[in-house]
Structure 1
């Protein structure tokens, strides 16, 4: 009974909000590190290998499931806290000046969280779901010309035992290709029945933000979502340490500074990525 009451108490909810929130901050940092590869021109191979690793590595899969659970728990817990706080004050104060007592972010955490949740769902449908389930997702190809023969052909970039291989796109008799430095050489003919290549998430991402009709809209909506994320983190990061009882006069200033820096830099760098992609066609 006591255990049930603890799980339902506002203190427990704030505790779990803090834990899941800080875990999601770690996820944001890791996800940003991978996505920054999109700022490197013509970086399809490296980014697609990263995407393949993130969707196939067993350890990463475990972390992914923890992330999904944390997002759901964080969202539901936040909604429950907002409802609970609303019920605690059913009648508004006669004189109330919220801006004098609290920041914009702290007063609108539920709204900001809802915007971010909608963004996450949309983002996962657009990219995550395609990477996992779209059987028609394009594979990465590389168009090359052999210096010796002058032959030009498109190749799938495939992976076998950790080594990249290059197999002809057409499922007919073709040639292997090897790379030495910046030169391409054709080797012995082989029979290609099927060539499974890296899923080209790099192309999907660039095409999405460079879409002729809606690319600018998608880019601006992404930037607005990152603005909401920044405000959410501005209040949430330091608040998480307070909820966990980790406040200490020796460290509070450092926690606040790091939290503010994190809440500005991480959303800003995320926002730069679609802007860079869209305006560097």
Structure 2
């Protein structure tokens, strides 16, 4: 097993891990966003509340949550290791350098945008997941079954904590740039690059980088405008 360890801990191996975990997290964003859109249904929040209870109680979801957390942890740790390795490889900057001529600011600061997204993620979990699991929130009853009113929690937070809503939107802008660079880089790292399908991959990456963050930003914007 030593060759596997050596491969995964090499620079190339860690970049492969970054690519695979990054693509996995993109798929998670799609699932999470599609479920959240249930809150816009004209049923008083019922579909969203039933979905929230299922996501918090189903056994298979618990397994997927563990896999998701591991994916985030591995992605973040690998990013940190690669950043430190690059810094050690070139402790002093070049005498003459024009980085803006070769790459964008966001591509050179993926670690910074990723760190801000991580801070947001922790705040997001504390505000919604922790409050839903352990907080005292109202309940509703549908056909004799009691549900925690997650729809009420989301609406109340975004309408009353306006600073959180604004921060949420700002982070979605950073996430957009993070996805725009990371999606294409992941396929390049995996060796999936060809003149026939690379343009399509780039277009898909741009679409994901725009639509997914815009979808998440729609929640705080909508509830702020309707309060």
Q: Is TM (by shorter chain) over 0.5?
A: yes
Whether 1:232 and 2:181 are equivalent positions in the alignment is no
From the superposition, tell whether residues 97 and 43 of structure 1 become closer, same or farther in structure 2 (CA, over 3 Å).
farther
8 Å Cα contact 1:37/1:43 also seen in 2? no
Tell me what 1:11 maps to. 12
CA distance in 1, matches of 2:44, 2:15: 42
Q: What is the count of residue pairs matched by the alignment?
A: 226
Secondary structure class of the residue paired with 1:197: strand
Higher strand share: 1
Whether 1:165 and 2:166 are equivalent positions in the alignment is no
Normalised to the residue count of structure 2, the TM-score between the two structures is 0.94
Identify which of structures 1 and 2 has the higher relative contact order when contacts are C-alpha pairs closer than 8 Å and 6+ apart.
2
Tell me what 1:207 maps to. 156
Give unmatched runs, 5+ long, in structure 1. Answer: 141-156, 158-163, 167-195
Q: Root-mean-square deviation (CA), in Å?
A: 1.4
Tell me what 1:280 maps to. 226
Tell me what 2:201 maps to. 255
Deviations 1:85-104 (Å, cap 9, x if unpaired)? 11111111111111110122
CA distance in 2, matches of 1:267, 1:24: 13
The alpha-carbon deviation at position 251 of structure 1 amounts to 1.0
CA distance in 2, matches of 1:95, 1:40: 56
The alpha-carbon deviation at position 42 of structure 1 amounts to 5.3
Deviations 1:53-109 (Å, cap 9, x if unpaired)? 111222222221111110111111111111111111111111111111012221010
CA distance in 1, matches of 2:121, 2:132: 15
The alpha-carbon deviation at position 131 of structure 1 amounts to 2.2
Q: Greater CA deviation, 60-69 or 70-79?
A: 60-69
Give unmatched runs, 5+ long, in structure 2. Answer: none
8 Å Cα contact 1:48/1:200 also seen in 2? yes
Secondary structure class of the residue paired with 2:143: strand
CA distance in 1, matches of 2:66, 2:31: 15
Deviations 1:169-190 (Å, cap 9, x if unpaired)? xxxxxxxxxxxxxxxxxxxxxx
Query: Which of 200, 210, 216 in structure 2 is aligned with 1:270?
Result: 216
Secondary structure class of the residue paired with 1:25: helix
Could you say which structure has the larger radius of gyration? 1
CA distance in 2, matches of 1:124, 1:35: 14
CA distance in 2, matches of 1:43, 1:253: 43
CA distance in 1, matches of 2:94, 2:9: 27
